[in-house]
Amino acid sequence: MDRQVVWGFLGAAGIAEKNWASVQRSGNGILKFVGSRDVAKAQAFIDRCQASAPFEKAPEAVEGYEEILADPEIDAVYIPLPTGLRKDWVIRAAEAGKHVLCEKPCAPKAADLEEMIAACEANQVQFMDGVMFMHNPRLSEIVKVVEKGDELGKLRRIESCFSFFGEDDFSDNIRVNSKLEPLGALGDLGWYCVRMSLCCCEGDLPVRVRATLFEEKNGVPVDLRGDLIFSDSRTASFHCSFNTTLEQSCRISGTKGALTLDDFVLPCDNQKAAFTIERQEEVGEGSNFSTRSLNREVELTGEAESQKTLLFRNFGKLVLRGERDSYWPEISLLTQRVMDALLESALGDGGMVELD
């Protein structure tokens, strides 16, 4: 067997359950440890996951995370801890020489993330955030369409939304705990909208942003709109909310056409990854423009594997090659800087906040 990346999970959260299967399917990784403050919780997690997606050798449950970082066999750690706790453990993992796959939002503030990334760089380990759609081949196809421009024309606008409805007992949820998840819906959901916008704008930072806070709970945004103003007449807006039904649509519009996808975060179907391009036929005088649009369904079949598997496989490839790719920490930091500015606007008077 080829050499495998040996993983440890710092935490047994719900999201880690999904990612257990991703490591298992990655083909280049094995999971050695699952750590939790409560070892019984880690063991129960392992039993549950092992029943549905078993590793040849069942991972071990450990109490806390130190033992994982101390183990010389461990190459990489996945950190699904709450945002408020990530900084410390990312830095300790880096100092222990472990590569770090970190859930998003990576940190409460960009300044925290800068320290985290600096620690990874000083210790020559890879940093990457857990945005799965970055690894979907659909994204690179979309970016190609945007950059090529023959179908969409000049990029003008990215409009996206990501929301789900939290039931009445939602105010006890960790997602609205101001210590653990201070960015609330902005970090949990808006992170994807901002990232998608940055990807369409080739990683340019917006010149300025503003946010309208529609609702907060426990001092945490739960329903918010953001506007990002880039150079060259490009703008992006998004809505993220725990108050509205599940939505995850994105529309990328240019001067000549628009590209839409209704499942930009979590594709509805892992076997294909479609998007639609509509182009206006013509605009006549007065209000006599034609409204028939020319739809083009683009179905990508290429790599028929889920983006969550590709996230772990791609990370694993870097580790096994002994390469580090600076794109990943850079795009996380840009995203986090936009978060800072949006939160400043949202918690202030909703005015424009400049980025530099």
Q: Interface with a copy of itself by CB under 8 A: which residues?
A: 13-18, 152-153, 156-157, 159, 161, 163-165, 210, 212, 214-215, 223, 225, 227, 229, 233, 235, 237, 239, 241, 243-249, 251, 253-258, 262-263, 265-268, 279-280, 283-289, 291-293, 349-352
Place of tokens 């750590």: 35
The DSSP secondary-structure symbol of 37 reads S
Would you say 94 or 275 has its CB closer to a copy of itself? 275
Q: What is the largest CA-CA distance in the chain?
A: 72
Give the Cβ contact number of residue 260 at 10 Å.
17
- Quote the distance between the C-alpha of residue 81 and its chain's center: 15
User: Least distance in Å: CB of 31 to a copy of itself?
Assistant: 17
C-beta of 300 vs 318, nearer to a copy of itself: 300
User: Least separation, in Å, of the C-beta of 23 and a copy of itself?
Assistant: 16
Nearer to a copy of itself, 229 or 300 (CB): 229
Task: Provide, rounded to whole angstroms, the least separation between the CB of residue 92 and a copy of itself.
Answer: 24
- Cβ-based nearer residue to a copy of itself, 50 or 244: 244
DSSP string, 128-166: EE--GGGGSHHHHHHHHHHHH-TTT-SEEEEEEEEEEE-
CB of 227 to a copy of itself, least distance (A): 5
Q: Cβ 215 to a copy of itself, closest distance in Å?
A: 6
Least distance from C-beta 243 to a copy of itself, angstroms? 6
Q: Which of 295, 88, 275 is nearest to 196 (CA)?
A: 275
- Closest CB to a copy of itself among residues 50, 212: 212
Q: Do β-strands 60-63 and 29-36 pair in parallel, antiparallel, or remain unpaired? A: parallel
The closest of 60, 83, 53, 47 to 8, measured between CA atoms, is: 60
Which of 74, 353 has the CB closer to a copy of itself?
353
Cα distances (Å, whole numbers) of residue 239 to 193, 231, 265: 8, 21, 14
Give the three-state DSSP class for 67: helix
Would strands 127-129 and 99-102 be described as parallel, antiparallel, or unpaired?
Answer: parallel
